[in-house]
Amino acid sequence: MDAIVSAQWLKDELGKSDIRVVDATLFLADHGRNARAEFEAAHIPGAVFFDLDEVVDTSSALPHMLPTPEKFASRAQAMGLGDGSRIIVYDNSPLKSAARAWWMFHVFGAHNVAVLDGGLDAWKAAGGGLESGKPLVRHRHFTVWADRSGVRDLAAMKDNLKSGAEQIVDARSAGRFTGVEAEPREGVRGGHMPGAKSLPSSTLFNADGSYKDVDGLKAAFADAGVDPLKPIVATCGSGITAANVVLAATLLGAKNPALYDGSWAEWGGQADTPVVTGG
């Protein structure tokens, strides 16, 4: 299965015994919206809700850090997701948050996963039906497993400053990258990591919320001065929109592009990490 699928593809496959649809919509506080409530009001038939605010490491003070493999497997089982499932993730968020869930599933051993290109809007535009309420699911076995080869932590990012082994690709807005725009989290400095390239995740999408085609994605990476086929590590505010960079690079043929899970919430909140402002 490809990393992204169309709404028409999902319409044709929906209802098959191994297809599982997951709504991974995430809103930030300033969006003023409730993802779970919107899911219960209207979602793709048979979909379950993946709470990106809850499937996290609650022992960390940082937002959206990866949970333990045991917690992830437990939550996946409770959503009716199991070994052998073909999982289609979508969202209805300006963050395009489905890619974060897609990346998490890969980290935790589910590789037959795709993002619905264009999300809920594309589904509705294709004439897809909707249902409301809380889904009834049957628990399925999801093997506890993790591959952290595509995950970077603070120590790895510090090492990378010295080695330059991986291109650092920052998915935040240009204003946050340069430090002109204030960071939304208290105590977090503005700016970016030394040597990082600015590739706002918004530049990866068309106006309708679908991913740009191969030529468009290649142009977005080129404009940022990034070669997606060379080692990269994506970062953002808290590891959500960075996953869009990882997915886009994957669509261009990248092998296991990495994501800095702590992202700027961690780096910008440290007292001893170097920060650069300006372009």
**pLDDT, tens digit, for every residue of 154-179?**
999 999 999 999 999 999 999 999 99
Domain edge (last residue) among 114, 146, 178: 146
Is 159 within the bounds of a domain?
yes
275 domain-assigned: no
Structural domain includes residue 279 = no
Does 91 share its domain with 159?
no
Of 250, 123, 29, 189, whose CA–CA distance to 242 is shortest? 250
Any residues with CB less than 8 A from the CB of 39 and at least 6 apart, and which? 23, 25, 47, 49
If phi > 0 it is left, if psi is from -120 to 50 it is alpha, else beta; for residue 249 that is alpha
Q: Is 273 part of a structural domain of the chain? A: no
Tens of pLDDT, residue by residue over 70-92, are: 999 999 999 999 999 999 999 99
Residue 272: inside a domain: no
Read off the tokens for 255: 């092998």
Q: Do both 177 and 130 map to the same domain?
A: no
Q: Which residues contact 205 (CB under 8 A, 6 or more apart)?
A: 96, 211, 212, 244
- Residue 124 sits in the same domain as residue 199: no
My answer on whether 203 and 183 are in the same domain is: yes
CATH of residue 95: 3.40.250.10
CA–CA distance, 273 with 263 (Å, rounded to integer): 12
In this prediction the pTM is 0.97
What is the pLDDT, as a whole number, of residue 1? 87
Identify the domain boundary among 146, 165, 193. 146
Please say whether the beta carbons of 73 and 62 come within 8 A. no
Ramachandran class of 11: left when φ > 0, alpha when ψ lies in -120 to 50, beta otherwise = alpha
The answer as to whether 187 is a domain residue is yes
> What mean pLDDT value characterizes the chain?
97
Q: Rounded to an integer, what distance in angstroms lies between the CA atom of residue 175 and that of residue 191? A: 9
Same domain, 8 and 142: yes
**84 domain residue, yes or no:** yes
Give me the mean pLDDT over the 231-248 stretch: 98
| Structural domain of 106 | 4-146
Percent share of the chain, pLDDT over 90: 97
Place of tokens 């990034």: 226
Whole-number pLDDT of residue 279 = 83
pLDDT at position 263 is 98
Neighbouring C-beta atoms of residue 167, cutoff 10 Å: 23
Domain boundary among 146, 174, 207: 146
Whether residue 84 is found in the same domain as residue 164: no
3-state secondary structure of 265: helix
Q: How confident is the model at residue 65 (pLDDT cuts 50, 70, 90)?
A: very high
Q: What total number of domains does the chain contain?
A: 2
Question: Do residues 50 and 159 share a domain?
Answer: no
Evaluate whether 237 touches 64 at the Cβ level (below 8 Å): no
Same domain, yes or no: 163 and 140:
no
Instruction: Give CA–CA dist 247/178, Å, rounded.
Output: 24
Average pLDDT over residues 185-207: 97
Catalytic residues: 236
> Do 116 and 190 sit in the same domain of this protein?
no
Token digits for 211? 């991913």
Residue with tokens 């990495």: 258
Q: How many helices (H) and strands (E) does the chain have?
A: 10, 10
Based on the fold, state whether residues 40 and 117 are members of the same structural domain: yes
232 and 98 in one domain? no
Residues 9 and 136 occupy one common structural domain: yes
Place of tokens 């952290």: 148
Q: Is residue 11 part of a domain?
A: yes
In tens, the pLDDT along 8-49 reads: 999 999 999 999 999 999 999 989 999 999 999 999 999 999
